[in-house]
Amino acid sequence: MQQVRVRFAPSPTGPLHIGGVRTALYNFLFARKNKGTFILRIEDTDQGRFVEGAEEYIIESLKWCGITIDEGIKEGGPFSPYRQSERKEIYKQYADYLISTGAAYYAFDTPGQLDQARSEAENEGCAFLYNASVRDRMQNSLSMPEAKWKTLIEQGVPFVVRYKMPLNEDIHCDDLIRGHIVVHSDTLDDKVLFKSDGMPTYHLANVVDDHLMEISHVIRGEEWLPSLPLHFALYRSFGWDRPLFAHLPLLLKPDGKGKLSKRDGDKMGFPVFPLYWPYGETAKGYREEGYYPEAFVNMLALLGWNPGTEKEIFSMEELIDSFSIERVHKAGSRFDPEKAKWFNHHYLQQRSNKQLAIEFREFLRAKGFHHDIVELETLVGLVKERVNFVKDIWNETDFFFRAPETFDQAVVKKRWKSESPVQLMELRQILNDIPDFTAAATEAAVKKWIAQKNYNIGDVMNAFRLVLVGASRGPHIFDIIAWLGKDETLKRIERGVSIIGNTTS
Ligand code: GLU
């Protein structure tokens, strides 16, 4: 097989959508699997849509995902530069070449003239296509004498270069995912290849660069499928060998109706971008929401590809090992926000308590609590199974860090008995007398006392939990007090008894 060279070619027009990250990922997996090269090419020829910060965002997103770049704007490489705006000079000669062979032509139509032609076509009930059907009625180098268009160019009249779409021809295209596609050339228009600002359009720059950079496989989103016949035609006009093409399925909304958009994410509370986007209209990111990159990548890999087995958990190495374009689906993939959380839950369980304690310590620091790793390790171990994200640990453990300010009234009503204050003050004394305040020692002593007194163990424990936590939630009660320590435990009993005792009296 030819040396595999693939590229991810985003346009820096805003934050990179997760669909774009998936395109990058599939290219990367394919490159690594085939010992090939993964290239990042920035397609920024449309200066009007350029957004400051987008390029850095793309690079940081790929880095966060563990997608490493072999050749690119930062890495350099044998086909530098990799930013299309810096390759401006290259494209003109290819546009000129197509004109010289008659495959392209100059067009001088003003926006007003184009609008008029469009509305005339609409009045006749058809969509306007600038192609063989109207070419000779428009202002271009095919409809006017050579001397005239040459003069216009010399006078500096703005022009574009259009591709001369062949007349009445079936264009046959092949796609590794979609198979053989036939499009009739009369349904296509004479796309602009080069603009009056001296910049190529996407189509010209993309095809020229894929050729010059010796790209073997073009793996990109389905939204580019309509451009495929034009690209096939362009390769033929240049007389170049074509790369192989694979158009990836769309990422769909959770209900399967239409393309996944930022608005869906906003509505349902999940991000559609890998990282937080800080400019203009800000947007949430998976990283900042607390997702691990392994979970994000694993989830994304399975949105459009399947391994052919039931296996769902894949490390990057395993993905590289198993990935193949043959197993990419044709149909759109429905995004499932719950499944995304499920993946994070899985990867969080894989982490050691120590690692989670380090991560949770960072979270606590931001809240002004300072604890050492060993203390937090025990705590994390108590609640780990119940959480999807490090930030969830806080919701499960907040009462460890601060005494309850309020007591859940429904629980008070149900669990607080008239004898609770007396029993808890006795319990306070029992605990006070235990020198070794471990979970095992306190549990043994408390159970012995309850048995001796013949108290109802449920009643005592429920009231005890209420003064410690403020509600009826939380892990094993003796684990809680072992972590809080004797002083804090005794304080919470006193405080709870005095507040709740008063409330109910
Ligand atoms: N610049 C295009 C984009 O923004 C690249 C499409 C392609 O990969 O050919 O997606």
Per-residue pLDDT tens over the stretch 140-199: 999 999 999 999 999 999 999 999 999 999 999 999 999 999 999 999 999 999 998 889
Domain boundary among the residues 335, 363, 391 is at 391
The phi and psi torsions of 281 (rounded to 5 degrees) equal: -80, 105
Instruction: State residue 275's pLDDT score.
Output: 98
* pLDDT at residue 305, rounded to an integer: 98
Q: 396 in a domain, yes or no?
A: no
**Predicted local distance difference test score (pLDDT) of residue 502:** 64
Which pair of tokens denotes residue 418?
């008239």
pLDDT tens, 197-249? 889 999 999 999 999 999 999 999 999 999 999 999 999 999 999 999 999 99
SS3 at position 144 = coil
Distance from residue 220's CA to the centre of ligand 1 (Å): 7
Burial class (CB in 10 A: 0-12, 13-18, 19+), 16: buried
Question: What element of type H or E holds 234?
Answer: helix 228-238
Q: Could you tell me how many residues make up the chain?
A: 505
Burial 316-342 (b: 16+ CB within 10 A, else e): beebbebbebeebeeebbbbeeeebbe
Nearest to 490 by CA among 424, 404, 420: 424
CATH, residue 159: 3.90.800.10
Compute the distance between CA of residue 314 and CA of residue 334 in angstroms, rounded to an integer. 19
Structure tokens at 341: 């959380």
Claim to verify: residue 377 and residue 410 sit in the same structural domain: no
233 CA from centroid of ligand 1 (Å): 18
User: Residue 311: CA atoms inside 13 Å, Cβ hemisphere, count?
Assistant: 12
| Spacing, Cα 43 to ligand 1 middle (Å) | 7
Give the gyration radius of the chain's Cα atoms.
Answer: 33
The answer to whether position 223 is within a domain reads: no
Per the domain annotation, does 233 fall within a domain? no
- Structure confidence at residue 75 as a pLDDT band (50, 70, 90): very high
Same domain, 26 and 43: yes
Mean pLDDT of 12-26: 97
Q: How far is the CA of 175 from the centre of ligand 1 (A)?
A: 16
Rounded Cα gap, residues 120 and 69, in angstroms: 49
423 lies in the same domain as 466: yes
Catalytic residues: 262
Q: Which domain holds residue 25?
A: 1-73+249-350
Atom of ligand 1 nearest to the CA of 8: 8
How far are the Cα atoms of 288, 302, 344, 345 from residue 309, in angstroms, in the given order? 32, 12, 21, 21
Residue 241: inside a domain: no
In terms of Cβ atoms closer than 10 Å to its own Cβ (0-12, 13-18, 19+), residue 41 is buried
360 in Cβ contact with 389 (< 8 Å): no
Distance, CA of 399 to CA of 228 (rounded, Å): 59
* CA proximity to 446, closest of 482, 500, 417, 471: 482
Q: Which single residue is written with the structure tokens 């809680």?
A: 480
Q: Is the peptide bond before 278 cis (omega within 30 degrees of 0)?
A: no
If asked whether residues 370 and 297 sit together in one domain, one would say: no
Question: Looking at residue 1, what is its pLDDT?
Answer: 62
Instruction: Tell which residue, 85, 80, 56, has the closest CA to residue 70.
Output: 80
Nearest-10 crossing angle of helices 202-212, 88-100: 100
pLDDT, tens digit (0-9, with 9 covering 90-100), for 452-493: 999 999 999 999 999 999 999 999 999 999 999 999 999 999
User: Do 256 and 285 belong to one domain?
Assistant: yes
- The binding-site residues of ligand 1, defined as CB within 6 angstroms of any ligand atom, are 9-11, 43, 202, 206, 220, 224
239 within a domain of the structure (yes/no)? no
Residue 274 inside a domain? The answer is yes
Residue written as token pair 């910060």:
53
User: Ligand 1: which atom is nearest the Cα of residue 13?
Assistant: 4
Mark whether 335 and 380 lie in a shared domain. Answer: no
The gap from C-alpha 100 to its chain's centroid, in whole angstroms, comes to 44
pLDDT for 48: 86
Q: What is the mean pLDDT of the chain?
A: 96
Q: What angle (nearest 5°) sits at the alpha carbon of residue 96, between those of residues 90 and 102?
A: 145
pLDDT range class, residue 504, cuts 50, 70, 90:
low
CATH number for position 292 = 3.40.50.620
Residue 86: both structure tokens together: 């810096």
To which H or E segment does residue 431 belong?
helix 420-432
Residue 59 scores a pLDDT above 90:
yes
% of the chain at pLDDT higher than 70: 99
- Average pLDDT estimate for 257-277: 93
- What is the best residue among 25, 216, 220, 244 to mutate for testing ligand 1's pocket, by most ligand atoms within 8 Å of CB? 220
Dihedral-angle region of residue 76 (phi above 0 means left; psi in -120 to 50 means alpha; beta otherwise)? left
pLDDT of 505 over the 50 cut = no
Count of domains for the chain: 4
Does residue 227 fall inside a structural domain?
no
66 shares a domain with 113: no
Per-residue confidence (pLDDT) for residue 196, from 0 to 100: 84
Cα of 221 to ligand 1 centre, how many Å? 8
- Inside any domain, residue 438: yes
Residues 275 and 329 in one domain: yes
* 97-125 mean pLDDT: 95
Residues 94, 59 share a domain: no
Q: Are residues 258 and 345 in the same domain?
A: yes
Nearest protein Cα to ligand 1, atom 3:
10
Q: For residue 194, what is the DSSP state?
A: E
Question: Burial level of 144, CB count in 10 A (0-12/13-18/19+)?
Answer: middle
Bridging pattern class, strands 333-334 and 160-163: unpaired
Picking from 359, 391, 423, the residue at the C-terminal end of a domain is 391
Ligand 1 pocket test, candidate residues 203, 206, 216, most atoms within 8 A of CB: 206
What ranges in 290-372 are assigned the alpha helix state H?
293-301, 316-322, 337-350, 353-366
Query: What number does the ligand 1 atom closest to the CA of 210 have?
Result: 9
- CATH of residue 467's domain is 1.10.10.350
Tell me: do 181 and 103 sit in the same domain.
yes
Q: Cα separation of 221 and 500, whole Å?
A: 61
Pair (255, 341) in one structural domain: yes
Two structure tokens written together for 374: 């060993």
Task: Identify whether the C-beta of residue 260 lies closer than 8 Å to the C-beta of residue 252.
Answer: yes
Among 25, 199, 202, 235, the mutation site with the greatest number of ligand 1 atoms within 8 A of its Cβ is 202
Q: Find out whether 69 and 7 touch, Cβ atoms under 8 Å.
A: no
Tokens of 101: 């062979």
